[in-house]
Amino acid sequence: MRRYTFFGRVLLAMAVLSIADVVVGVLFGLFFPIGYFSGKSIARIVSDLAFVEGAVIFFAATLLAFLYSSLSLRVIALMVIGAAMVGLSVVFGMF
């Protein structure tokens, strides 16, 4: 079994979350054109989803770091993923 490095794990998690956001954004944009999603482009929906995911992941990681009073590699990875998802939402928001 191949062991991924820290950077590889972060990229893998980012890829999975980004693909899931795009799929959900496309499905919601096409099949649910009412309510919150009405009048929004698919890129805007993906941006909103990525921001919410990033904020939740970053909050959970900082809460874990605070509760256990330590920064393990997993907690740091969660913080990086959360911050990167918020940054990715800004990139998708520019479209």
Structural domain includes residue 62: yes
Structural domain includes residue 50: yes
The total domain count for the chain is 1
Structural domain includes residue 87: yes
Structural domain includes residue 84: yes
Q: Is the pTM of this model over 0.85?
A: no
pLDDT of 34 reads 67
Structural domain includes residue 1: no
pLDDT per residue, tens digit, the chain (95 aa), is: 466 677 787 888 888 888 888 888 888 777 766 666 677 777 888 888 889 888 998 998 888 888 888 778 788 888 888 898 898 888 888 87
Give the span between the Cα atoms of 74 and 6, in whole angstroms: 9
Give the span between the Cα atoms of 27 and 74, in whole angstroms: 32
Give the span between the Cα atoms of 39 and 11, in whole angstroms: 32
Q: Residue 41 is part of which domain span? A: 6-93
